[in-house]
Each structure stands twice: as structure tokens, then as C-alpha cells.
Amino acid sequence: MSEVVATLEYQGKQYTVHKHDWTHPDEDADEQEQERLVWWMWTEGNYGCDCNRFAFISYEHDDWPGESDESGKFPCGETITLVGLTLDGKDLLAPDPEMQMRERLAAIGLKPAWTLLGDFER
């Protein structure tokens, strides 16, 4: 099992939440696939919605900002910002150096050939 730590910001205040027992549904998933799924869940998936983020905050913080409705559900939306996300201590929101290099090369009209010598094609 892995630990996911997310830092969420709402109305200028940050809340850190922990998921100590996160496991990938595919027990054969490699580290990169696990990182991709955690990133997706917190950015595009179910944990990217305010209703779940309010719930996570309420589990760990007494001063949680949300208001549940009469049925106990939190409102959906996108007002809580994800400002930090780690999986077992690895920062999943840090820029990917390889992707940054590809973007820089593309901006000047080069594409990497990725040979052992580091040659580039036009």
C-alpha cells in the first residue's frame, strides 16, 4: 500500500489530506502507472470534484470549509484547488523535465531523435 498526500486550497487556506492505504486496482501496475492513476484521480477523476475534496478535508480538519446539504452530501464544483500531490513522497505535480525539454525543442522547430549521442533532427 502507498501513501498519497494532497494539499488543497480553498478561500486562501490550505488543507493537507492523507490517504494512507492507497492501492492501484491492478496489483501488477508499475510505479509509473501508479503515479499516472493517482495524478488522474486528483486532477480529472473523482477526487477532482469539490464534493470529494470537501469530504477528505472534513475527515482530517475540524475547521473544514464545506457545508453539506440536508442529506449530508457536499456540493459539487471546482472551487478547491489542488496545490500539492505526492505518492510515497514523490511530487506528482512537479514539472516533468523530459516533457519540458520536448516543449522547448518543439518551440524552436527541433524534434529529438534520442540517439545515444543526443543528436537532434529538424
What DSSP letter does each residue of 27-83 carry, written as one string? TT--HHHHHHHHHHHHHTSGGGSHHHHHHHHHHH-TT------TTSPPPP-S-SEEE
- Reported confidence tier of residue 86, pLDDT bands at 50, 70, 90: very high
How many CB atoms neighbour CB 55 within 10 A? 18
Please report which confidence band the pLDDT of residue 113 belongs to, taking 50, 70 and 90 as the band edges.
low
Q: What is the pTM of this model?
A: 0.72
More confident residue, 47 or 108: 47
Neighbours of 11 (CB within 10 A): 7
pLDDT band, very low/low/confident/very high, at 116 (cuts 50, 70, 90): very low
Mean pLDDT over each residue of the chain, to the nearest integer: 81
